[in-house]
Amino acid sequence: MSLTADDLTRTTGLRPDLVLRFIPATIGPAGPLYSGDHVALASIVKQLTDANADAAAIDAVVRASTEPPRRPRRQWWWLVAAVALIIAAGTGALIGSATTKPATVTKTITAAPEPIDASVPAAADPVCTKWSPLAADYKRRRADWETTDPQIPVERWTARDRELNIAVVPVLRSEAADMRRLADEATDLGLRAVLQYQANYEDLFADRIPTYTPSRDNPLWQAAMDMSNAANSLCSATVPR
């Protein structure tokens, strides 16, 4: 389903001028158009611009998301989260404050960013021993809900669909809270970032369930699960040195 820049703004909160500036579009007769997959990307760009990230670095993240994947998709999400963490902590050119005019760039000098090691971890972060059983437990608690069809909007739900969707909201809230708690305990900055992203996407998705629209809201859930897969990779794919 095609989305306009205004649709992306309503869904993610990213200003229309920043949608046009950073999110790649297909140009149609009515102007720039976007797909449902761009919702997750626009959400990430929104968080980066809110953190006063450097415009060139945001462009690099967007390029990484649109290049043909040479690795499994879950590793791309880890890359996005890691880059976002570096940018948010570092020096940068500020994206202009709320306005309908194109974003302006202002140089600022801040403290040096905390370094991040983007190499394959030699050992799992200690918090992974808590993450793995929690992730398995939440997957079990969501199992009945995950049998519902994500392409059916709220107005076409059966009584059973509605029951399962309402019941899963507190589960998602609880999982998001636990992911934030684990993020606070994580020493691996990349893992910390993806856990925080997962929590944010889950909370936003839970907000949308009462008015669920597949093209608008399902990408948020997919993004949350991409982040969970990235956390799993960081916890399980290690190379002892």
Report pLDDT digits (tens) over 46-89.
888 887 777 877 887 787 776 655 444 444 555 555 555 555 45
Domain chopping of the chain, boundaries: 5-108, 128-236
Report pLDDT digits (tens) over 149-200.
999 999 999 999 999 999 999 999 999 999 999 999 999 988 999 999 999 9
Q: How far is residue 216 CA from its own chain's centroid?
A: 14
| Alpha-carbon distances of 168 from 139, 152, 161, 162, 229, rounded to whole Å | 11, 16, 11, 10, 20
The predicted model gives 14-28 an average pLDDT of 85
Query: Does pLDDT of 92 surpass 50?
Result: no
Query: Does pLDDT of 107 surpass 70?
Result: no
pLDDT at 218: 94
Asked if residues 64 and 181 have their Cβ atoms less than 8 Å apart, the reply is no
Asked if residues 204 and 182 have their Cβ atoms less than 8 Å apart, the reply is no
pLDDT at 35: 82
Query: Does pLDDT of 212 surpass 60?
Result: yes
163, burial (CB in 10 Å: exposed 0-12, middle 13-18, buried 19+): middle
Q: How far is residue 87 CA from its own chain's centroid?
A: 15
Query: Does pLDDT of 20 surpass 80?
Result: yes
What does 94-157 look like in DSSP terms, one character per residue?
Answer: EEPPS-SSPP-EEEE--PPPPP---SPPSS--TTHHHHHHHHHHHHHHTTTGGGS-TTS-GGG-
Tokens linked to 87: 């940018």
Provide the whole-model pTM: 0.57
pLDDT at 81: 57
Between 180 and 20, whose confidence is greater? Answer: 180
